[in-house]
Structure 1
Amino acid sequence: MLRGMKLLAVLGLALILLGCGDGPQAKRDKFYDKGAAFYEQGDYVKATLEIKNAIQTDPKFAQGYYLLGMCSFKQNDYKKAYGYFNKALELNDALTAAEVMVGRLLLMGGEHEQALARADKLLTASPEHAEAQLLRGASLAALGKEKEAVFVLEKLKAAGSQEADLYIMLANLSLKNDDSVKAQAYLEELLGVDPGHRAGRLLLASVLERQNKLDEAQIQLQELIGQQEPEHQAEARLLLVRFYLRHQRQVEAEALLRSLSAENPKEERFRVLLVRFLADQGHEEKSLEILRQGLNDLPESLVLTEMMAKYRLGRQQVDEARQLLGAYLERMKTGPLFLQAKLMLAQIAVQEQEFDTALKLADEILGENGNDLGARILKGDLLMQRRDFDGAIVEYRSVLKELPQNVPVMFSLAKAHLGNDEPKLALELLQNAFERDSKLAPVGILLSRLYQQEGKFAQALGVVEKALQQNPENDELLEMTASLLVRRGRSADALELCRRYLAQDAENPRYNVLLAQVQVAMRDFPPARTALLRVLSRDPDNRAALFTLVRLELLQGSPQEALNHGLELREKDPENQIYGLLLANLYEQTGSFAKAAVIYEEVLEKNPRSLVAANNLAYYFAEYQPEVQNIARAQKLLEPYLENNRSEPVLMDTAAWVYFRAGDYEKALALLGGVEEKIKEVPEALYHLGMIQKALGHREAAIVSLEKALAGEPFSAGNEARVVLEALRR
């Protein structure tokens, strides 16, 4: 018995040793094989876990890194895939499959030259490498070298390659050359090799449709439907619906959508499509019938609930929309859909200008889910509306931490920093946002304005020119581009730009006014006047034309005519502060200072933060009504702006003159001290400086300032300045 037990122990030890004899490589391969099997099944998450186990066993396993890269690639995580493929090549530079994938990723990332270099490197070592030839052809095509690309790809095809990508590329290159017949031939050849190739059949249907071979295109789409498993046919049938819609076959489209809805009663998307289709066709009652039935059958569908709520809102039935969403909240109680419905309620509150209610709802959503980015964006917007810029910055930054590429949120954050008087941070954000997406016109407009504030007009012009290319219909970008071209001394280019737009729409009033503005800037007054009067003959209320006409009259030395047009503008829009300030300025130029002061009072009543109105009214008091109470009022008007505008010469000159009138000569001199360099060629400011210096007993300095003032352009107090200067010289 004892001998038997010893024998069993020896056998057990032998079995253990035998198991260990497989070694780390066998363990690695076991993990790898499981991962490869999961990869083939399309389960990339499980595949990744198994392959990572294999790499943990053997950290120098190049093939493992390659397959990890493929898993990341299939999950569209291209950055991670790129890292894994390069790691595989670092461990084994002969792993050509990894080299090809690096090339493909470079190509996808727009690095076409680098992708071509990778392909050429592979082909130097192995001239017949099919995947490298395919990569080379794709790289050449991306670089615009279509003929070379076709040559490479045709050669690969002649060598017997039946890669689907080869046929697809050749077909696309043919389409680029408007050769639909050749593209069709390539795709038919592909489907002869691989009848189940979905992308190839879809492209063939598109090519046939392009040739107006609609029956044949429909056959291809129906063939595609038939090739799908029953549970996957719905997607292919939707392609047929879109085909019907493109060719105004609404009856067939509706029938197919109704079939899809009936066959898939638990899926909301088919009902949504049917509702939208019927609404687009003008069948409101039919659309509502489907929507009501959908809400009855699928009471937890947020999409259908939101559609009905939007329908109610579109008909000003705000209470009904709120009741609908409130009932949905009662049913759902909690969860992501519950929070989305509450967010819509908050958005309705914003539309109704119930900002406190909206903020309360946003806070409730964030109380349940602090990561609800929609609620954070809404809260940021609401805090911006309250001028709580610090709070808005916190919300927008929280969103960008999760969505660092979100350009609209970057734009909102930039505006919050501007509100917080942090222009450098705003500029940095806008530069980043514009680099990522120059199509968003407001980003380009604000970035250009910041550049202009910094005096960087070349950069400002570059931004709006690029933005205008992306948004050719945006009038504001067009006007900014023309204005900056003029400012940069490129008036001829500005004229050409205007004429190019007018060639497309000769009667467009904005284009005609813009052309006139450029002509006014060039002092070419007769055609500008003709264009403006023509616009006003068709639209007497065109304020841009009137505004430009005011400027034209001023430049031509006709202030009274300018004043008449300014009065017209104010009459058409009495609430417009810009027109009010313009009219006040025109009154000043025609000597009606008291009338100008009345307008400044009106502007300040509506907008107490108007620096222009505050400055000009204060100057009026100091110059024309320097009574004690008026000077005290002038000081009160200016005081909020002095600390943060020490380098602003116009404001400092006004403030200095006010304090001079108040008898505070030391403060008056100190205010002008910070802008002395900026006023050295401004006669009126030099006159004020001389008068302040005289009051302080600085006789020699006062003489110098007054002499400089009188040596410049004539100014209203010139005679008084001469009298004072003569007295000082005696």
Structure 2
Amino acid sequence: MIKKIASAGLVMVLMVFFVSCSSPAEKKAKFYDKGKTLYEKGDYVRASLEFKNALQIDPKFADAYQMLGQVALKEKKFKQAFGSFSKAVELNPDLLDAQVELARIFMAARSADRAQEKVDQILAKNPDNSGARLIQAAIYSKAKNLDAAESILSDLYQKGETSGEMYLMLASIYDARKDTAKAEAMLREGIQKNPDAMTLRIILANFYQKADKPEAAEALLRENIKIQPDVAGHRLALANFYWNAENTEKALGVLKDLAKLETNREKNIITAAQFLLKQKDADQAETMLRQGIADAPKSFALREALTDLFLLKKEPGKAMDVLTKSLSLSSDPADPGILAVKTKMARIHLLQREPDAAEALVDAVLKENAKSIEANFIKGQLHLLAGRPAEAVTAFRTVVAEAPDNVRGHLLLGQAHLMNKEMALAIDTLNQGVRQNPASKEIRRALARLYMANKDKSAAAEQLVKIAEIDPTDIRAMGDLGDFKLAQEAYDEAKIQYERMVDARPEVPAGYLKLAHLHEVKGDRDGAVEILEKGFAKNSDSMPLLAGLVKAYLLVDKADVAKKYCEEKIAAYPDNAFTYNLLAQVHIVEKIPIWPRTR
């Protein structure tokens, strides 16, 4: 017996010995394989830990970085996903799946050029890579080259590709060509091949609604709820369907069902109330929130939502009543819910121009949590209002330190430095803001203004050009760049920007007005009239365009035409005082009495 026990003990010792002597490579592989298993089960938190364990052993393990990127995608943490995939391909450029995901991220970020670079790299190594070819088709579609996109997609389809992404793009192309039968067929086949592809189901439901097939749309929307009963979006889509069909009773029934779901109940109630607010039914929204509070009387979140509803209705007194009652939900002054209530109360006092009350509440919050972003934000605003820019700098520095992606924090920190007569620090602050938020047009605009005030015209122009690159459809950016070029007397370059405004948004008056002003500056009054006439033909209800056109006619001695336009507008809108004022200006120029003489 003793020998058997000794033998068993020896076996155990040897097992421990061999396990403890596993090589780093074996340990790394074990962590990685376990992480993949957890990932496939949908346990992303634990999977991430396993991949990180593998990286502790081998910091250059590219495959682990690639899987961390996949986890981040599942968790919708796109910035982290980008970082992980970038590290993976840096360590191993041949990880084509990671390269494909980077290309997708670039497409999502509206950076087609960078996506194309990735696609070219992938296809150079593997011309048949389906992921890269799908992205290439997406790039062509975005560029309105539908024939090229369809050619790639059709080839993939013939070769057996069944991804929802392919079916969705093909359906979009057929829909753009008004071939609704083919579009529907692609969506239906895509769902058949990918039963869990909710995007395809949602698109098909929308397709049915546009095609005036309400029964088919309703059936699909209800089926989506059965497949994913806890996803609020599916119930909202059905409620929206009923609301648009003017069947409010059914819509309310769906929303009440949503509010009863146990999973994420508070969030679902708030979501349902927000839906009702968008439909301008504040009474039903209030009823839903009050019922939720009755069912969960200790809920800070539901009371905050009710507060926001009253603020939206411009009833700050009722909002403050709700918040005051919320203070009794906890006796702990450091309770996050209590701190949020006091911060919200301070914000209301600030809006009502009651700085002393706001400051007392904010100080109480900061006593418990000195790094509170919202409380420091309000504190900084109070300092600015009181003319204390140095103190405001301290508060806003805390904001941007705790939340580097807080755009308004950087803007107000820059403003505080400027009020404190620290131009260099204001510029440095906004440059830091740009580094943290490179896509922020607001920070870049503010930075351009500071550079102009500091007489650094080239740096100002660089920011304006960058804004236009970030969003080529931003007509404000075009206008700002055009105004800058006009101030530099670079008339041809200014004209290009103003014409881009008109081409991009022909229904917006600003482009015509700026282009007409440019013609006036150059002394081309007839050209200004022509531009304004073109704009007014597309925007006949625009008072700024009418005023500009009347002024332009008067400058070219066409008071009679200006008078005709004014009288036509008065006949159409007899209660519009603005047009009478324009007509009065025409009469003054004509040197005739404004009102008929009485006998």
Interval of TM-score (by shorter of Structure 1 and Structure 2): 0.7 to 0.9
Larger radius of gyration: 1
Map Cα deviations across residues 189-232 of structure 1 (whole Å, 9 max, x no partner). 1122222322221111112222121111111111112223x5x2
CA contact (8 A) 1:257 1:273 kept: no
Structure 2 residue 251 is the aligned partner of structure 1 residue 260: no
User: In 1, are the aligned partners of 2:72 and 2:81 still within 8 Å (CA)?
Assistant: yes
* Equivalence map 1:557-636=2 (5 Å): none
Note the 1:304-383 alignment, pairs <5 A.
Answer: 304-309=302-307, 318-333=316-331, 334=333, 335-383=335-383
Find the aligned partners of 1:445 and 1:174 in 2 and give their Cα distance: 44
2:181 equivalent in structure 1? 181
Superposition pairs of residues 180-579 of structure 1, within 5 angstroms: 180-228=180-228, 230=229, 232=230, 234-262=232-260, 264=262, 267-272=265-270, 275=273, 288-309=286-307, 318-333=316-331, 334=333, 335-422=335-422, 436-438=439-441, 451=452, 461-462=480-481, 483=517, 486-487=520-521, 495=529, 498-506=532-540, 508-517=542-551, 526=559, 530=563
Give per-residue Cα distances to partners, 1:6-34, cap 9 Å, x unaligned: 99998777556644564222211111112
Task: Find the counterpart in structure 2 of residue 32 from structure 1.
Answer: 32
What does residue range 46-85 of structure 1 map to in structure 2 within 5 Å?
46-85=46-85
Structure-2 separation of matches of 1:383 and 1:531: 54
Contact 1:461 1:484 in 2 (8 A): no
Q: Over residues 526-577 of structure 1, what are the superposed CA-to-partner deviations in whole Å (9 max), with x where a residue is unaligned?
A: 4798489869997897599689969x98xx9x9xx9xxx9xxxxxxxxxxxx
CA contact (8 A) 2:566 2:579 kept: no
Residue pair 1:515, 1:528 contacting (<8 A) in 2 also? no
Q: For 2:259 and 2:451, locate their aligned partners in 1 and report how far apart those are by CA, in whole Å.
A: 53
Cα distance between partner residues in 2 of 1:543 and 1:330: 57
Q: For the structure 1 residues 383 and 449, does the alpha-carbon distance in structure 2 shift closer, same or farther, using more than 3 Å as the test?
A: same
Cα distance in 2 between the residues matched to 1:141 and 1:36: 34
Q: Following TM superposition, by how much is the alpha carbon of 1:474 offset from its aligned partner in structure 2, in angstroms?
A: 8.3
For residues 6 and 344 of structure 2, the distance between their equivalents in structure 1, rounded to whole angstroms, comes to 78
Give CA deviations for 1:464-492 in whole Å, capped at 9, x if unaligned: 66897899998889867765664466766
Q: Distance in 2 between matches of 1:503 and 1:215?
A: 42
Identity of aligned residues (%): 27
**C-alpha distance in 2, partners of 1:46/1:57?**
17
Quick one: which amino acid aligns to residue 390 of structure 1?
Answer: A
Relative to structure 1, the CA distance from residue 116 to residue 362 in structure 2 (aligned partners, 3 Å threshold; closer, same or farther) is same
Q: Deviations over 1:601-633 (max 9, x none)?
A: xxxxxxxxxxxxxxxxxxxxxxxxxxxxxxxxx
1:503-534 deviation digits (Å, cap 9, x = unpaired): 344354433223345567x6758479848986
Q: Deviations over 1:614-655 (max 9, x none)?
A: xxxxxxxxxxxxxxxxxxxxxxxxxxxxxxxxxxxxxxxxxx
Partner of 1:662: none
Q: CA deviation at 1:349?
A: 1.5
Counterpart secondary structure, 1:387: coil
Q: What code does the residue aligned with 1:131 have?
A: G
- Distance apart, 1:256 and its partner CA: 1.9
Distance 1:539 1:383, change over 3 A: farther
Write the distance in 2 (CA, Å) between the matches of 1:288 and 1:160.
52
- 1:573-608 superposed Cα distances (whole Å, 9 cap, x missing partner): xxxxxxxxxxxxxxxxxxxxxxxxxxxxxxxxxxxx
How large is the Cα RMSD of the aligned pairs?
4.7
Show the counterpart of 2:136. 136
Cα shift readout 1:389-411 (whole Å, capped 9, x = no counterpart): 23333333432334444444444
User: Is the 1:513–1:545 contact (alpha carbons within 8 Å) kept by the matching residues of 2?
Assistant: no
The two structures have a TM-score, normalised by structure 1, of 0.63
| Contact 2:507 2:539 (8 Å CA) reproduced | no
Supply the distance in 2 between the matched residues of 1:404 and 1:51 (Cα, whole angstroms).
28
Question: Quick check: 2:427–2:450 contact (8 Å CA) kept in 1?
Answer: no
Unaligned runs of 5+ in 1: 566-730
Structure-2 change in CA distance of 1:112 and 1:480 (3 Å): closer
TM-score (norm 2): 0.75
Alpha-carbon distance in 1 for matches of 2:519, 2:427:
22
CA shift, 1:280, in A, is 7.0
Matched, 1:163 2:166: no
**Closer, same or farther in 2 for the Cα pair 1:305/1:13, shift >3 Å?**
closer
Change (3 A) 1:257 1:102: closer
Structure 2 regions of 5+ residues with no counterpart? 465-478, 484-496, 595-599
Cα 1:38–1:321 change in 2 (3 A) is same
Alpha-carbon separation, structure 2, partners of 1:130 and 1:21: 42
Cα distance in 2, alignment partners of residues 419 and 475 from structure 1: 35
Distance in 1 separating the partners of 2:438 and 2:583 = 35
Counterpart of 2:116, as a letter, is: L
Q: Residues 414 and 429 of structure 1 are in contact (CA less than 8 Å); yes or no, is this contact kept in structure 2?
A: yes
- Give yes or no for contact 1:536–1:545 (8 Å, CA) kept in 2: no
The whole-number CA distance in structure 2 between the counterparts of 1:428 and 1:382 is 23
Answer 1 or 2: higher relative contact order, Cα 8 Å, separation at least 6.
2
Q: Which amino acid aligns with 2:252?
A: E
What CA distance in whole angstroms lies between the structure 2 residues aligned with 1:270 and 1:11? Answer: 57
Question: Partners of 1:543 and 1:455 in 2: how far apart?
Answer: 42
Structure 1 residue 370: deviation in Å? Answer: 2.7
Secondary structure of 1:171's match?
Answer: helix
Q: Distance in 2 between matches of 1:177 and 1:375?
A: 53
CA contact (8 A) 2:377 2:399 kept: yes
Amino acid paired to 1:513: A
Distance (Å, rounded) in 2 between the aligned partners of 1:435 and 1:531: 50
Give, in whole Å, the separation in 1 of the partners of 2:6 and 2:242: 82
What is residue 467 of structure 2 aligned with on the other side?
none
C-alpha change, 1:541 and 1:377, in structure 2 (3 Å) is farther
SS at match of 1:128: coil
Aligned counterparts of 2:524 and 2:359: Cα–Cα separation in 1: 49
**Structure 1 residues 480 and 372 mapped into 2: Cα distance closer, same or farther (>3 Å)?**
farther
Quickly say closer, same or farther: Cα 1:331–1:461, change in 2 above 3 A: closer
The range that moved more, 403-412 or 141-150, is 403-412
CA distance in 1, matches of 2:278, 2:109: 38
Counterparts of 1:54 and 1:264 in 2: how far apart (Å)? Answer: 38
1:277 CA drift (Å): 6.1
Residues 389 and 419 of structure 1 are in contact (CA less than 8 Å); yes or no, is this contact kept in structure 2? yes
| 8 A contact 1:532–1:545 mirrored in 2 | no
Residue 162 of structure 2 aligns to a residue in which SS? coil
CA separation of 1:539/1:222 partners in 2, compared to 1, >3 Å: closer, same or farther?
Answer: closer
1:524/1:71 Cα in 2 relative to 1: closer, same or farther (>3 Å)? Answer: farther
Alpha carbons of 1:29 and 1:544: their partners in 2 closer, same or farther (altered >3 Å)? farther
Contact 2:343 2:362 in 1 (8 A): yes
> What amino acid maps onto 1:325 in structure 2?
L
